[in-house]
Structure 1
């Protein structure tokens, strides 16, 4: 496999990392942002090597990753082509699991990693910076939206020259915990590879509550290291889509032109096809989508489950304005 082409000399785009715990509305926000001219939404880039390159899962456009023209061009620009065998992709996946772990945050903050892990971190950074450049060049967009949501990945990226902004996407943790108990299929799965699940993982209410608090707190702590961090509530996005999207774009340093938000009105969004990897099945929806809050948990969530979530998320939940 040859090295990267001339895109390596291009200036790095701004990357807006969507943070927080899943099932909080990040896919909806990403889709809204991706239809703004000059913005490209690429899904959960952290999982690209595993879900896309190795397992050949479907891109948001509906094509298997290996047949998606957008990602084929990105791979050519960034790396001279994607690895020809799953074993080559596995090497990158191994680096990812060796480095991008929340338990390695002290080393990612200080840079004091073991030599082997430090080399793996450098390889990961080089590959992802090349990918962001190639995505920007291939799409013509100056703002790349990455919905990876993993705190350790953001801590890794902040050690580069990347213009990184982090946006915590928050939703009432009771609704999040309720959602993670549901069985949700993964329509992108095309592989019969052993260990590849056709369903998204499920979590109990206690695990969901702890992760909701932990992920949010870790992303907010990035501001202490000089990374711009802001927060958007899922409920506010649905209530005021234009105003909230404009605020997010302003936070990302993006100049919104007249007509850029024409795909939005007060109660719906019109979505086009995006080349996203991994994430919620909603990334495959196109056309008009009504903006309605999912409040099923209010009627169906057991009282004990609510109390568990409320106790485990208390400080951050109150800070975000989610009362009992």
Structure 2
């Protein structure tokens, strides 16, 4: 059963002005870091807590949800998911009022790592200023609607990309970021695997794969860029994958406190030492495990230590040595 039971709007009203400060300036926790670091499971654990709603990778909502109608984490297609249809009604008077191709183009043109200088300064080139303004307004409206529909005080957005975090700094949201860090050798080994995307239905479409060097380069870049967010007065917290897997209840409670909640033991009762109880969540994109429900085992994935080819492990170890030293990832 879904954690939040969405309702169908009986009347579209885009003129209503919410009084709740959590609606006016939504509390958004963005999970960052290069993929295959446990961020999807962390989002699922957080989203089971009272007053928290997980939306998945909102960065990709426009193409994967709105345009391609891929599966929501609840198992329904985006266009059939009651939660997302209610969000669309509250935000825009219905998703059909949006120019889909424009929404996709705005995101893909503005939020890119190579646009980082523009995102840091907040001064996009003339050709992107209109796109940037449209996108930020579209996102502000979306987050407010998600708070209204879910009734939650806190949103978890697992978009991961640093460029998106820099962009969100300028939105009217209370933004905080958690960088999820995993040993880069485990990350590189995971990205070399063939993983099918279940959200595309019966189509044989797979997640991208990266070479060892590319995976470590991305891991390093994402880590550094998220740490630099602190220079721009964004509250940052670093969570180590290994700590999360070893002490999930404690790590989730620490993040809730970082978000501004006051966690009680009952808030994390769904988390056990080696497992977590998960209901369906309305996540628009992310790792395939976002589709799983029931009791899920929590275990540290160390397969790379036994199965990663020696040459690839040496490359990953060498390229990542400076940051691993900072993070205390020895061995």
Q: Which residue does 1:74 correspond to in 2?
A: 87
Q: Which residue does 1:322 correspond to in 2?
A: 329
CA contact (8 A) 1:5 1:78 kept: no
Segments of structure 2 that go 5 or more residues without pairing to the other structure are 1-11
For residues 23-74 of structure 1, what are the alpha-carbon distances to aligned partners after superposition, in whole Å with 9 as ceiling and x for unaligned?
A: 0000000000000010000100010010000000000000000000000000
- Deviation, structure 1 residue 7: 5.5
**SS at structure 1 position matched to 2:63:** helix
Q: Which residue does 2:147 correspond to in 1?
A: 136
For residues 8-28 of structure 1, what are the alpha-carbon distances to aligned partners after superposition, in whole Å with 9 as ceiling and x for unaligned?
A: 664222100000000000000
Correspondence 1:257-276 to 2 at 5 A: 257-276=264-283
Correspondence 1:51-62 to 2 at 5 A: 51-62=64-75
Q: Which residue does 2:317 correspond to in 1?
A: 310
Between the aligned partners of 1:132 and 1:304, the Cα distance in structure 2 is 45
For residues 144-164 of structure 1, what are the alpha-carbon distances to aligned partners after superposition, in whole Å with 9 as ceiling and x for unaligned?
A: 000000111110110123110
Q: Which residue does 1:241 correspond to in 2?
A: 248
- Deviation, structure 1 residue 3: 8.4
Displaced runs of 4+ in structure 1, greater than 3 A?
Answer: 2-5, 7-10
Between the aligned partners of 2:208 and 2:14, the Cα distance in structure 1 is 35
**SS at structure 1 position matched to 2:228:** helix
Q: Which residue does 1:93 correspond to in 2?
A: 104
For residues 115-173 of structure 1, what are the alpha-carbon distances to aligned partners after superposition, in whole Å with 9 as ceiling and x for unaligned?
A: 22111111111011111101011001011000000111110110123110010011111
Match of 1:30 among 43, 55, 62: 43
CA contact (8 A) 2:277 2:293 kept: yes
Shift in CA distance, 7/73, structure 1 to aligned 2, threshold 3 Å: farther
Q: Which residue does 2:52 correspond to in 1?
A: 39
Q: Which residue does 1:169 correspond to in 2?
A: 180
CA contact (8 A) 2:124 2:132 kept: no
Q: Which residue does 1:179 correspond to in 2?
A: 190
Segments of structure 1 that go 5 or more residues without pairing to the other structure are none
- Deviation, structure 1 residue 114: 1.2
Between the aligned partners of 1:4 and 1:305, the Cα distance in structure 2 is 54
Between the aligned partners of 1:5 and 1:233, the Cα distance in structure 2 is 43
For residues 221-252 of structure 1, what are the alpha-carbon distances to aligned partners after superposition, in whole Å with 9 as ceiling and x for unaligned?
A: 00000001111011101111111111111111
After alignment, is 111-120 or 14-23 more displaced? 111-120
Between the aligned partners of 2:327 and 2:13, the Cα distance in structure 1 is 45
- Deviation, structure 1 residue 177: 0.2
For residues 194-221 of structure 1, what are the alpha-carbon distances to aligned partners after superposition, in whole Å with 9 as ceiling and x for unaligned?
A: xxx7111011100000000000110110
Report the RMSD for the aligned CA atoms in angstroms. Answer: 1.6
**SS at structure 2 position matched to 1:119:** helix
Between the aligned partners of 2:274 and 2:266, the Cα distance in structure 1 is 17
For residues 169-206 of structure 1, what are the alpha-carbon distances to aligned partners after superposition, in whole Å with 9 as ceiling and x for unaligned?
A: 111110100000001011110497xxxx7111011100
CA contact (8 A) 2:13 2:90 kept: no
* 1:104 and 2:111 aligned: no
Between the aligned partners of 1:165 and 1:45, the Cα distance in structure 2 is 15
Between the aligned partners of 1:266 and 1:168, the Cα distance in structure 2 is 22
Shift in CA distance, 236/25, structure 1 to aligned 2, threshold 3 Å: same
CA contact (8 A) 1:55 1:191 kept: no
* 1:287 and 2:297 aligned: no
- Deviation, structure 1 residue 271: 0.5
CA contact (8 A) 2:66 2:78 kept: yes
* 1:220 and 2:227 aligned: yes
Shift in CA distance, 286/310, structure 1 to aligned 2, threshold 3 Å: same
